[in-house]
């Protein structure tokens, strides 16, 4: 076999093995979703990927994020039907990661799908990569593709967009590129509830949030965004993963992350290398492959650490 063809075959085999392991892990972890009620018309649903929000309006239902797979999206739709007979009319996506997006394929056709304009660009780039376009993820990383027939239909470009959908007031907020270039925070001012997406995700706690630099995520923008979160009049924050958070808890995460960012900035100014900075800020060594290794304290080598993203951000600016 030609060396180039052999290389491609080996790469494809590795992707298939990695995806099979991921799918197997999802199957082992499968459990019924848990539905939590926050107010008479607002719920959050955990399980099957990122947390989802369910907001029951006058005539229809607004959903925030759609789970990871078609099966997960179907289960979410079934859970919503147990809450209310009203139809799902709108889905709002907090960002483009597969575990928040791909389940939308199981939602009714013709619904409105709202996202930041950069979220749609990131989803389209993933589809284009499959057709031979430029890569959008680190080498060896492959997530299920977004559903091509369920891309966002209503795009947000402003930093603050005020909407009223089915009688519900919403504010869609984008302070800066943070976890990705296309993050949206969903704020319900009347209920004082916030859906943060992966800006806050407790499987990636402060001061080490995961930032997708390959999707335009930014460490400085992340801090700006979390400052925006704590400025909101709310004490109920539904994170992208994990349990409900208070403003005090998010303020503490902000302080830890900002302190680490400032230390990295000072070390960059001293001309320290990335490895020297990792040692100086006390980053753990790489974890063995898989979530279990990451849970033991090491970072998941699939993605750059917060330290690396900050270093790359600062050195690319010549800081």
Give the mean pLDDT of 59-65. 98
C-alpha torsion sign, points 220, 222, 227, 231: positive
CATH topology of domain 31-316: Metallo-beta-lactamase; Chain A (3.60.15)
Give the DSSP letter of residue 36. Answer: E
Q: Is the predicted pLDDT of residue 258 greater than 80, yes or no?
A: yes
Q: Residue 142 has what pLDDT?
A: 54
Q: Rounded to the nearest 5 degrees, what angle is found at the Cα of 156, between the Cα atoms of 228 and 125?
A: 105
Sheet holding 160-165, edge to edge: 160-165, 168-173, 185-188, 193-201, 236-241
Q: Is the predicted pLDDT of residue 6 greater than 70, yes or no?
A: no
Domain spans, the chain: 1-30, 31-316
Helices 274-281, 306-316: inter-axial angle, 10-degree rounding? 130
- Record the pTM: 0.86
pLDDT cut 90: percent of the chain above it: 72
- Residue 201 CA to residue 203 CA, distance in Å, equals 6
pLDDT in tens, 22-56: 344 444 446 899 999 999 999 999 999 999 999 99
Nearest CA to 291 out of 279, 303, 278 is that of 303
Cβ neighbours of residue 153 under 8 Å, at least 6 residues apart? 112, 113, 114
């Amino acid at each position: 076999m030609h060396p180039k063809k052999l290389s491609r075959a080996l790469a494809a085999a590795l992707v298939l093995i990695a995806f099979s392991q991921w799918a197997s892990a999802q199957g082992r972890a499968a459990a019924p979703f848990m539905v939590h009620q926050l107010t008479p018309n607002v719920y959050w649903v955990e399980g099957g990927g990122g947390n989802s929000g369910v907001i029951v309006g006058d005539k229809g239902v607004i959903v925030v994020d759609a789970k990871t797979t078609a099966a997960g999206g179907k289960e979410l739709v079934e859970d919503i039907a147990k809450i209310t007979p009203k139809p799902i009319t709108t889905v709002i996506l907090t960002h483009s990661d597969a575990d928040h997006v791909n389940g939308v394929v199981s939602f009714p056709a013709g619904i409105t799908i709202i996202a930041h304009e950069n979220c749609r660009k990131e989803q389209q780039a993933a589809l284009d990569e499959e057709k031979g376009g430029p890569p959008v993820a680190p080498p060896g990383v492959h997530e299920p593709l977004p559903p091509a027939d369920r891309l966002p239909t209503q795009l947000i470009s402003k930093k603050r967009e005020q909407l009223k959908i089915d009688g519900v007031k919403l504010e869609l907020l984008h302070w800066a590129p943070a976890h990705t270039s296309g993050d949206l925070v969903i704020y319900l001012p009347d209920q004082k509830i916030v859906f943060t997406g992966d800006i806050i995700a407790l499987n990636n706690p402060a001061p080490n949030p995961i930032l997708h630099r390959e999707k335009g995520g930014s460490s400085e923008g992340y801090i700006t965004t979390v400052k925006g979160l704590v400025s909101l009049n709310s004490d109920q924050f539904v994170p992208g993963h994990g349990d409900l958070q208070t403003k005090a808890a998010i303020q503490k995460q902000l302080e830890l992350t900002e302190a680490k960012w400032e230390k990295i900035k000072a070390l960059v100014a001293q001309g320290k290398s990335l490895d020297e900075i990792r040692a100086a800020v006390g980053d753990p060594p790489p974890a063995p492959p898989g979530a279990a290794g990451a849970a033991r304290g090491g970072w998941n080598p699939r993605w750059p650490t917060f330290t690396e993203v900050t270093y790359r951000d600062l050195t690319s600016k010549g800081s």
